[in-house]
Amino acid sequence: MATTKTPKKPAAMAVTKKAAPKKSAATKTAAGMTLAEVMSALEKAGTAQNCKTYTRHGAQQPMFGVSFAFLSTLVKRIGSDQDLALELWATKNHDARILAMKIADPAKIRSADLDRWAKEQQMRMCGMYLASLAVESPHGLEKADKWLAASDENTRNSGWQLVGQVASRDESTPDSWFTKRLAVIEKTIHSAPNAEREGMNMALISIGGRSPALHKAALAASKRIGPVEVDHGDTSCKTPEAGPYLAKMWAHAAAKKFASPAAQERARESMRTRC
C-alpha cells in the first residue's frame, strides 16, 4: 500500500510567540546599570556617620548613608531614567529615593507619582529635589496649588518648597500669583507646623528674589512677620532672616550682571542635579 504523508503545517503556524520578559532587578538601564547594581553601589558607599547625620535631619531607615558627592557620580553615569527612578523609590531606601529624584525624567513623571512622592518624602532638606523635579515637569504650578491645600504636613511643606522653585525657575507665572502666596505666608507662618514654617520662610525669600516689585513686597511682608523661629533639632542649621538674605542675593546677582536672583538661578543647571 502507498503511504500517505502528513502535510507540514505552514511556517506561520509553527512559530510560538514568546511572552515579553518581565522587568526585574537584573534588567539593564539605558546606562548599563541594573537596579541591583545601583543598590549594591549605594550600600558599599554608605557610612554609619552619614546615617547619623541624615537621621538628625529627618531621614528614616532604611538607609545606607551615602554622600551627595557619590550620588552625583551616579547621576552623571545614569543620566535621566524614569523607569529606574520609580524602581529606586519603590525600595523605600532613603539614599535610593534621593537618587530617584535626581535621575527622574520631568517630561515622563506622572502627576500621581509626584503626589505620592510629595507625601512620602521625609528628609526636609531634600524636599527641594522634589520641588525642582516638579517645576521642570508639565505639572509644576498645578502641583503647587494642590499641595498647599493638602491635609498632611509633608505635602504642604513640599508645596511651599515648590512655590520657591516656581519663583526662581518659572518665568511665565504672573507676579499676582506670588502676591497671594505672600499674603498666606504673612497670615499663617507663625501658627504653621515646624517644617511647613521653614518652607514658608524659604518661599518668602525666593519670591523676594523674583523681581524688583516682589522684592519690595517680600521685604514689607517680612518686616510685618518679624523673626521666624524654626526648630532644626540636633543640627547646625539656622533660619535665614529674609531681609539680610535677600540683600546678599540681589547684590550677588547684580555683581554677576543678572537682572534678578531668579534670572541668575535660571541660567544655572537644575539644583537637583548640581547639588
φ and ψ at residue 28, rounded to 5 degrees: -75, 145
Q: Are residues 130 and 90 in the same domain?
A: no
pLDDT the model gives residue 8: 43
Q: Does 202 reside within a domain?
A: yes
pLDDT tens column, 176-219? 999 999 999 999 999 999 989 999 999 999 999 999 999 999 99
Asked whether residue 24 carries a pLDDT value surpassing 80, the answer given is: no
Q: Are residues 254 and 160 in the same domain?
A: yes
What value does the mean pLDDT of the chain take? Answer: 89
Q: Are residues 142 and 272 in the same domain?
A: yes
CA distance 184 to 247: 23
Q: Residue 136: which residues within 8 A CB-CB, separation 6 or more?
A: 106, 169, 270
29 pLDDT band, cuts 50/70/90, is very low
pLDDT the model gives residue 3: 43
Q: Residue 35: which residues within 8 A CB-CB, separation 6 or more?
A: 25, 27, 29, 84, 87, 88, 91
Q: Are residues 266 and 144 in the same domain?
A: yes
Report the predicted TM-score, pTM, of the whole model to 2 decimal places. 0.87
Strand partners, 34: 28
Q: Does 19 reside within a domain?
A: no
Percentage, residues of the chain above pLDDT 70: 88
**Contact between residue 88 and residue 64 where contact means Cβ atoms under 8 Å apart:** no
Task: Calculate helix-pair angle for 194-208, 153-169, nearest 10 degrees.
Answer: 10
- In the chain, the number of structural domains is 2
> Which structural domain range is residue 253 located in?
125-275
Q: Are residues 268 and 137 in the same domain?
A: yes
Asked whether residue 7 carries a pLDDT value surpassing 70, the answer given is: no
pLDDT tens column, 112-163? 999 999 999 877 778 899 999 999 999 999 999 999 999 998 899 999 999 9
pLDDT the model gives residue 21: 40
Q: Are residues 162 and 262 in the same domain?
A: yes
